Amino acid sequence: MSRFMAAWRRAAPWAAKNADGAIALVLAIVVGVLGVIPEDVFGKDGADVQQQLVSAATLLILALVATALLRDRQRQAPVERTITSGALADLPARLHRLDQIDTLVTGTRKALDALQLVRVLGSRQEIAQAHAEARKDTTRWSFKGGTGTYLRAVTLPECVAAARRVKRHLTVRVEVIDPTNAEVCETYAHYRRSLSDTPDGTGETWTTDRVRKESYATILAAFWHRQRYGLLDIGVGLSETMTTFRWDLSATRLIMTVEDPNRAMTALAGTFYYENCDTELRLSFEQARRVPLEMYKKVPLSDEPTVEEVQELFERTGVALPRSYNEHDVVDIARKALRALNPYAP
C-alpha cells in the first residue's frame, strides 16, 4: 500500500498538469478492461451493453485527444508568432552584426600576429638561425649596412649556391659605405672603435683603411658572383652616410642587427614592420650612387683574381682605388671579397 501511495504522489503532479491526457489514458484502460470482461456479466443483453459502453468511452477518448491537440495548438501560436514576426524579422540585422564581429576578430588577430612576429633575438645562435631561415628558398635579398662583411662571408655565397642548385633567379640589392668618401669611412671607423677597440670576430680592428677595403671587397664580390651565375641580378649602391643598423631582408624575413653580436630584431614577411622596412631599403638604394654592375662582361675576373684584373675593374667602373694602394693592398681586397671571415662565428 505504501508503494502505491508513493507512486501516486509521484504521478499526481503530472496528472494535474495534463488532466485531459490523464483522463483519456484512464478511459483507454477502462475500455480495454470492458473489452475483456465476459458478456454474461452485463446480464441478458450483455453483449449490447458491453458494446455501448465501449463505443461511448471511445468517443469520449477521441474528444479528450482533440481537446488536448487544440490546447497545444493554442499554446504554440504565440511562440510561432514571436519567431516569425520577431526573430526572423531581425535575422538579417543579426547576421550583419555577426559579420561585423567576424571582421573585427580577424583584424584583431592580424594585429596581434603582427606584434608577435616582431621579436628580439638574444644570442648569436638565434641570429644565425634567423639568417639561415631567411636564406632558405629565397628569391631576393636586400642589404643595407656598413661594409657588408657578413654578406660576403655567408649570405651572398650561400644564396647564390642555393639558387644555382635549382637554377632559380636571384635578385640582390646591396648598399654599403662609399669607399671613395674618406669622411664617411673615418666616421664609421670611429664609431666602431668607440664601441670596442679590440679586434672583432675577424681578428682585425676598425680603421679608416679597413672600412675602405671592406667596401671595395663587397663591390669586387658582387662582380665576381655576377660573372659566374647568369641568373643573378645584383646591384650595389654606395652611400655617403653611415648607419648604426644593418638590414638583411629576404622574401620571407627581415633581420635588423646592431654592433652587439648577441642582439637583433626580426619580423616575418607580411607584417607592418617588414613591409615598411622593405620600402625604406628600396628608396634608400635608389638614392645611393650606383656601381655599374652591367659592365661585368667587360672586366672579366679569374677564379683567383689577379692584381691587374682588380685594378682594371675598379678603374673602369669609376670606383678607383686610392693611389697609395700597392699590390699588397689589392691582394688584401681580393682576399676579403672571396674569403671573408664570418665576424659572428663562435
pLDDT single digits (tens) 4-26: 556 556 656 655 555 555 565 56
pLDDT at 58: 65
CATH number of the domain at 121-338, out of 3.90.1150.10, 3.30.870.10, 3.50.50.60, 3.20.20.70?
3.30.870.10
**CA dist 22 to 14, 54, 63, 68, 239, Å?**
8, 18, 13, 11, 97
pLDDT at 313: 96
**CA dist 283 to 144, 269, 277, Å?**
11, 18, 10
Unique residue bearing C-alpha cell 636571384: 170
pLDDT at 202: 82
Q: Which residues contact 301 (CB under 8 A, 6 or more apart)?
A: 220, 223, 224, 227, 309, 310, 313
pLDDT at 10: 64
pLDDT at 23: 62
Q: Which of 304, 309, 155, 150 is nearest to 234 (CA)?
A: 155
Q: Which three cell numbers stand for residue 58?
A: 471511445
pLDDT at 197: 81
For the chain, the domains span 2-83, 121-338
Amino acid (1-letter code) at residue 42: F
Asked if residue 317 lies in contact with residue 291, where contact means CB atoms within 8 angstroms, the answer is yes
**What parts of the chain have a pLDDT lower than 50?**
none
Q: Which of 113, 144, 126, 112 is nearest to 266 (CA)?
A: 126
Q: Which residues contact 304 (CB under 8 A, 6 or more apart)?
A: 334, 338
Q: Which of 222, 264, 247 is nearest to 121 (CA)?
A: 264
pLDDT at 67: 67
pLDDT at 100: 76
Q: Which of 298, 302, 320, 301 is nearest to 311 (CA)?
A: 320
Q: Measured in whole angstroms, how far is the alpha carbon of residue 29 from the centre of its chain?
A: 72
Asked if residue 243 lies in contact with residue 257, where contact means CB atoms within 8 angstroms, the answer is no
Q: Which residues contact 58 (CB under 8 A, 6 or more apart)?
A: 31
| H or E element, residue 249 | strand 246-250
pLDDT tens digit string along 113-170? 555 578 889 888 999 999 999 999 999 999 999 999 999 999 999 999 999 999 999 9
Q: Are strands 170-177 and 232-239 parallel, antiparallel or unpaired?
A: parallel
